[in-house]
Structure 1
Amino acid sequence: MTLRPVALLLLPALAVAGCATVRPDTAADQAQPARVLTAAELRAAAVGAAELGGGYTVRLLSAGQAAPPPGGAERQLADVPACQPVLDAIGPADPGAEPQAETDLTVAKAAGAQSAQSPGPRGADAKGADSSADLYIALLGYPAGRAGALQSTLDQVLAQCASFTSGVKPAAGAAKGTRTRQQLARVDTPTPEGADGATGFTLTSGPETGAATLVQRAAVVRVGTALAVFSTVGTTKEPAAAPDPAVLSAQTRKLRAAQR
């Protein structure tokens, strides 16, 4: 089973945690009218090797392959209530908050390969993207206006939750357990041509008194009624790479074309 990055899981959690109260971004919808894509249309809009050029391997995931395993660890509780959606994202999501259509895929690029969209020095793409890093992509389809609302809510959470800790609620009479330090940081992310907005961030997790152990980097790109979430995973020793800008551009173009 493929690990589903928290960057993707964060969006459904935001929708049911009391934070998603912003109004739909109707101005963007009116400026660039877009159709709500069906599940089949969203899957057909996934970027492929034909759009990326040589050196890329694209794998479409089957339904449920990217979902988190059922059950899992006990629920983590944040010391800052406004940040709880971040932790709830790691656990089972509320089915009512799921997008109405979803397609998941992975993109791997051979070290030293150059994309057809942004050729450059061998071994690296523009803006620090690591050519050999695996990229996880989730395409999420929503009703009109919903994608804009979720992206606005994500921006709010990033502003409120730069750093917080979490832990499992101890049983009655039990000692307080180990706490985990969580750090969210916004990353400047240019909006790809044809997109309506882009939000980039990293999520770093580790023991409260020790070094961080897991780093996830993500870019959330809004294209009409859909969100495209691009994620990489790393550690403090091997940082998560910036999502490949060539893949972001190619996927944005294909999503925009599908909604016309």
Structure 2
Amino acid sequence: MIRPLRLIAALGAWAMPATAWAQAQIPPAPAGGSAIPGALDRAFGAMNGGPGGGMTLSLQILILMGLLTILPSLILMMTSFTRILVVFSILRQAMGLQQSPPNQVLIGLALFLSLFVMSPTLDKVNQTAIAPYSAGQINSQQAIGAAGAEFHHFMMRQTRKADLAMFVDMAKRPGFDRPEDVPFSILLPAFVTSELKTAFQIGFMLYLPFLVIDLVVSSTLMSLGMMMMSPAIVSMPFKLLLFVMVDGWALLMGSLAASFG
């Protein structure tokens, strides 16, 4: 019982100088008013680097670290990454391969092919946002707005009008006079819906030749009376041979890059 009392007394003695220092730092409240709004104003002014100033470096770093947590989602939802990765996954399923190529290889291929597809947009972002901001010609808000405009233009070109109209009706928003007026809250789900629809269309076209091989192998095994032999095991080498003979990876990469126009 004595030890907890001593601990509480020590904490009280430690807190008394800090409390006295804090009371000495806070100016007295004006007559008929409160010191809380003034203290809050001074606190926000210090966070912004003083009255009328920009954000301090520490606050900018904190915001940047917070944005880095949602960067994978931005890469996944605002670029060509979704369509490419879904097509790669469908291709692996159509060929009957379970873990080859591995997920890490498919994600790496999708990422670098996305960089290739997005290179014109990234060059414009560098010219209109990153380079002027690094030179001190524009502030951070203008840089973010310029970069967002370039991604907005890319997403609008890849979004179907029917998908965009559906989300505009769901949001109960009036018609927009210009494509630039469409907010990201409507454009983003419409863009992802269009990308998934396009990816499944490409995946359907990829599935057809491999499905024909499965049907031929299955019919051949049935006619030979080999009921216990799995058609997937026999058809897999023929699928790989067909894919290699037609130079499938080059055709697939080129077709995916050309599908973005």
Answer 1 or 2: which has greater strand percent: 1
TM-score (normalizing by structure 2): 0.21
Higher relative contact order (CA 8 A, sep 6+): 1
TM-score (normalizing by structure 1): 0.21
Answer 1 or 2: which has greater helix percent: 2
